[in-house]
């Protein structure tokens, strides 16, 4: 699999750069919220980034 291959009008590499930028903006702009969500996780402590990741996976699973 070539990571630089094109999907539609942008390359996968460009998609990943845009996705990462959006993720960073979402996490930074709502950090207080993500910290609150991470704090209620059962078990070992998780980071706000991990909380965002878990919620993203769960929302993705609901679409399928």
pLDDT score of 1: 40
Kindly write down the DSSP assignment for every residue of 6-61, as one continuous string: EETTEEHHHHHHHHHHHHHHHHHHTHHHHHHHHHT-SSS---HHHHHHHHHHHHHH
pLDDT score of 42: 93
Band of the pLDDT at 4, cuts 50, 70, 90? low
pLDDT tens-digit readout, 8-56: 688 999 999 999 999 999 999 999 999 999 999 999 999 999 999 999 9
Angle at 53 between CA 26 and CA 19, to 5 degrees: 50
The residues that bridge with 10 in the sheet, in sequence order, are 7
Q: Indicate the pTM of the whole model.
A: 0.71
Domain regions of the chain by residue span: 6-63
Give yes or no for a contact between 41 and 51, defined as CB atoms under 8 angstroms apart. Answer: yes
């Amino acid at each position: 699999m070539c990571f630089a291959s094109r999907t539609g009008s942008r390359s996968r590499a460009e998609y990943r750069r845009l996705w990462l930028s959006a993720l960073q903006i979402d996490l930074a702009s709502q950090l207080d919220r993500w910290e609150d969500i991470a704090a209620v996780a059962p078990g070992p402590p998780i980071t706000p980034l991990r909380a965002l990741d878990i919620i993203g996976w769960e929302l993705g699973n609901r679409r399928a």
